[in-house]
Structure 1
Amino acid sequence: MLNKLNLLRKEIDILDLKLLNILSKRLKLVKKIGLIKNKYGLSLYVPQREKYIINLKKKEAKKIGISPNFIEDIFYRIFNESYSYEKIKIFKKVKPNFPKILIISHNKKISILFKEMLTITGYDVNYIEEKKININNIIYLFKNIGMIILDISKFFFEKLIKKLYFLPKNCILIDLSPIKEIFMIKILKIYKGPVLGLYYLFNYQKNFLFKESIIYCYGHKEKSYVWFLKQIEIWGLKIKHMNIIEHDKYIFFIESLKYFFTLIYSIFLKKTKISLNKVYILSKPIYYLNSLILKNFFLTNPKLYFNLIENSPNNIKKIKKYFDHINELIILIDEDKKTKIIDIFNKIKKLLIKNIEILK
């Protein structure tokens, strides 16, 4: 019996080695594809092709008796590794002779990521933290720049806004603030050159942005920065257009309400004197992830979260409305209105089924 077992294991070892060699050959081909994409300015990430291949391989797997979910998992891992091989140290530069780019930063981490991506693409970038700027002498920084990227505090913005008149003609101004109603609207009233709003929906601790998303809002002179949106796509980012009002509406649900809920949940834990260690013992692994998110939440500067919660005049109204819905649900539960609660449950279930593609 042991001899037969050893023979079978040796056969598996041989197949595993062949599998490794096949993966190695595949990754070498992928690297060649990366060079071609760079040469012609093609996007690193093509979601339509990835989805097509995954679905095709799942069908082929089912025909030969292999779990489609197993194959899907394997190919997603192969794709992610492939993107790393495709990535080279420089991306195609869409605008070869573009002037210097100035980045003024408050949130250092995200601004440095933009600086790194622009620099490895070949652009001349001047990065400076807002706290190191003498606002009275800022005009010298504007000399001969083609783009200014602002990721600044509300306090510094109120000082800077008066200086935007001195920007070079047709300098592209990019606003990275999360609430466009606060910064971008004021910018558009004062500065008549090209204005673009961006909001990143990704973890800025990453050094590789494929499959990540960024929202853009048109301000003035859209044609002036179409090339920059193309540059972002070449980096592997998915871009999505929204107008300013729609952007702020959804950012409330993506960020403001989430942070407010996290704060409320944490206050409740503290007030009830729950032992987090005991919660860990009784919890599934997913709770460890939730706890890590909670920990990171409170390691960040609270001013950033507070600004996201209260900056928009409509946020407080929306949060009050959120509490109205909670109270309505509590009343239904308290009055044992099971039929109505089940009806609400089913309506939400239908909504999720309708949007199943988004949730995959």
Structure 2
Amino acid sequence: MLNKLNLLRNEIDNLDLKLLKILSKRFELVKKIGAIKNKYGLPLYDPKREKDIINLKKKEAKKIGISANFIEKIFYRIINQSYSYEKIKIFKKIKPNFLKILIISYNKNISILFKEMLAITGYDVFYIEEKKININKINYLFKKIGMIILDVSKTFFEKLIKKLVFLPKNCILIDLSPIKKIFMTKILKIYKGPVLGLYFLFNYKKNLLFKESIIYCYGRKEKHYIWFLKQIEIWGLKIKNMNIIEHDKYIFFIESLKYLHTLMYSIFLLKTKISLNKIFILSKPVFKLNSLIVKNFFSTNPQLYFYLIKYSKNNTQKIKKYLDYINNLVILVNKEKKIKIIDIFKKIKKLLVTNKEFLF
């Protein structure tokens, strides 16, 4: 029996080795594809191609009696790994002779990521923290720049806004602020050159941005920076256009409520004197991820979260409505209105099923 078992295991080992060699050959082909994409300025991420591959492999799996869901998971992992092989040390530079790019920021992490992406693409980029700038002598930084990227605090912005009139003509101004109503609308009143709003929806700690998303809002003279949006796509980012009002509306649901919930949850832990260590020990991996979110939340400048929670249009009213829904649910639980609660569950389930392509 043991001999037969060992023979079968050896056969499996040989097949595993063949799988590894096949994967190695696949990744070598992927590298060649990456070189071609770079040469012609094609995006790193191709969602249609990825979807077609997955669907085809699932159909083929069914024909030979293998779980389609299993094959889908495997090929997503293979494809995601393939993107890292496609990525090379430099991306195609759309504007070869573009002037210097200046980044001013209080959020060092995200700004350095932008700096690195621009630098490996071949652009001349200079980064400076807002706290190191003498606002009265800022004009010298504006000399011979083609683009300025701002990710600054509200306090610094109020000092900077009057100085924007000294930017070179047609210098592209990019605003990275989370709430466009606060910053971008004021910029458009003062600065008459090209203005673009961006808001990143990705983890700045990543060194590969494929499949990550970024929202962009046209401000003024978009023909001057359409090329930059194409450059971002070449990096592998998914870009989505919104106007300023729509942007702030959805950022409330994407960011503000998330941060408010994290703050409320943390206050509850603090007031009830629960041991965080015991929670962590008893938690499943998914809760450990939640714990990491809480940790990251309190390692960031609290002013950013305050602006996100408070200053988006009608945020206070929306938060009150959100709390009303929580209170109403508590009332239903206290009154043991089981049928109504089950009905709420069914409605939410229907929403999730309707949007399963995006949620799962």
Post-superposition CA distance 1:195-226 (Å, at most 9, x none): 00000000001111111000000000111111
Q: Indicate the larger mover: 36-45 or 72-81.
A: 72-81
Distance in 1 of aligned mates of 2:237 and 2:45:
7
Distance in 1 of aligned mates of 2:10 and 2:345:
54
Task: Report the counterpart of residue 227 of structure 1 in structure 2.
Answer: 227
Task: Report the counterpart of residue 100 of structure 1 in structure 2.
Answer: 100
Distance in 2 of aligned mates of 1:334 and 1:351:
26
Distance in 2 of aligned mates of 1:278 and 1:155:
40
Amino acid corresponding to residue 248 of structure 1 in structure 2 = D
Post-superposition CA distance 1:213-267 (Å, at most 9, x none): 0000000011111100000000000000011001101111111111111111111
Task: Report the counterpart of residue 109 of structure 1 in structure 2.
Answer: 109
Distance in 2 of aligned mates of 1:242 and 1:250:
10
Task: Report the counterpart of residue 348 of structure 2 in structure 1.
Answer: 348
Amino acid corresponding to residue 105 of structure 2 in structure 1 = S
Residues 172 and 225, structure 2, Cα contact 8 Å, conserved in 1: yes
Task: Report the counterpart of residue 358 of structure 1 in structure 2.
Answer: 358
Residues 104 and 152, structure 2, Cα contact 8 Å, conserved in 1: yes
Q: Indicate the larger mover: 344-353 or 175-184.
A: 344-353
Q: How far is 1:137 from its partner?
A: 0.9
Post-superposition CA distance 1:146-174 (Å, at most 9, x none): 11000101011000000111111111100
Task: Report the counterpart of residue 309 of structure 2 in structure 1.
Answer: 309
Task: Report the counterpart of residue 202 of structure 1 in structure 2.
Answer: 202
Amino acid corresponding to residue 172 of structure 2 in structure 1 = I
Distance in 2 of aligned mates of 1:82 and 1:198:
28
Structure 2 residue 43 is matched with structure 1 residue 43: yes
Q: Indicate the larger mover: 304-313 or 229-238.
A: 304-313
Q: How far is 1:281 from its partner?
A: 4.3
Amino acid corresponding to residue 300 of structure 2 in structure 1 = T
Distance in 1 of aligned mates of 2:204 and 2:98:
25
Q: How far is 1:145 from its partner?
A: 0.7
Write out aligned runs for 1:109-148 (5 A).
109-148=109-148
Structure 2 residue 170 is matched with structure 1 residue 170: yes
Q: What is the TM-score of this pair, normalised by structure 2?
A: 0.97
Give 3-state SS (helix, strand or coil) of 2:274's partner. coil
Query: Where does structure 1 differ by over 3 angstroms across 4 or more consecutive aligned residues?
Result: 280-283
Percent identity between the aligned chains? 81
Distance in 2 of aligned mates of 1:282 and 1:102:
48
Task: Report the counterpart of residue 8 of structure 2 in structure 1.
Answer: 8
Distance in 2 of aligned mates of 1:277 and 1:207:
31
Post-superposition CA distance 1:166-205 (Å, at most 9, x none): 1111111000000000000100111111100000000001
Distance in 1 of aligned mates of 2:354 and 2:177:
32
Distance in 2 of aligned mates of 1:211 and 1:227:
20
Distance in 2 of aligned mates of 1:113 and 1:328:
43
Amino acid corresponding to residue 238 of structure 2 in structure 1 = K
Amino acid corresponding to residue 151 of structure 2 in structure 1 = D
Gaps of 5+ in 1: none
Q: Indicate the larger mover: 235-244 or 270-279.
A: 270-279
Give 3-state SS (helix, strand or coil) of 1:127's partner. strand
Gaps of 5+ in 2: none
Q: How far is 1:313 from its partner?
A: 5.1
Post-superposition CA distance 1:29-63 (Å, at most 9, x none): 00000000000000000011111111111111111
Distance in 2 of aligned mates of 1:3 and 1:334:
65
Q: What is the TM-score of this pair, normalised by structure 1?
A: 0.97
Give 3-state SS (helix, strand or coil) of 1:98's partner. coil
Q: How far is 1:343 from its partner?
A: 2.2
Residues 249 and 312, structure 2, Cα contact 8 Å, conserved in 1: no
How many aligned residue pairs are there?
A: 360
Root-mean-square deviation (Å): 1.2
Amino acid corresponding to residue 175 of structure 2 in structure 1 = D
Residues 215 and 239, structure 2, Cα contact 8 Å, conserved in 1: yes
Residues 58 and 71, structure 2, Cα contact 8 Å, conserved in 1: yes
Residues 34 and 86, structure 2, Cα contact 8 Å, conserved in 1: yes
Q: How far is 1:278 from its partner?
A: 3.3
Distance in 2 of aligned mates of 1:12 and 1:334:
58
Give 3-state SS (helix, strand or coil) of 1:181's partner. coil
Task: Report the counterpart of residue 64 of structure 1 in structure 2.
Answer: 64
Amino acid corresponding to residue 106 of structure 1 in structure 2 = Y
Distance in 2 of aligned mates of 1:89 and 1:279:
43
